[in-house]
Structure 1
């Protein structure tokens, strides 16, 4: 399972989700999207890093995401 930290009206987050969905075509995994604005602690932790892709408690990538890194790092 991938946890995807983002927020509304974030173009980088929308682009990152599109990349994740492309990777999901090659690997089988679920995505849970978390709006950091719903949680003060998450907002403080990730507001300058979003989008953030996390799997098994490990951050795989944040900010400007790229397909190759996601494909290589995500366990499917």
Structure 2
């Protein structure tokens, strides 16, 4: 079974980046906050599930690869 998650940056400060994410790119249901210093993420709804982990891991990988926080993207597994 395939899983897909889309994400889009909604704000960025010197300390954190906030994203909305979900399985529908036109209707994001959830948000996560990424701490820039530690590259750790927090689910704003406190639900740590596969969708959250998939988005968080993809964002961290893209940051490591590009050296910047992505504006938007997706992950398929």
Please report the TM-score for the alignment, with normalisation by the length of structure 2: 0.33
Structure having the larger proportion of residues in helix: 1
TM-score (norm 1): 0.34
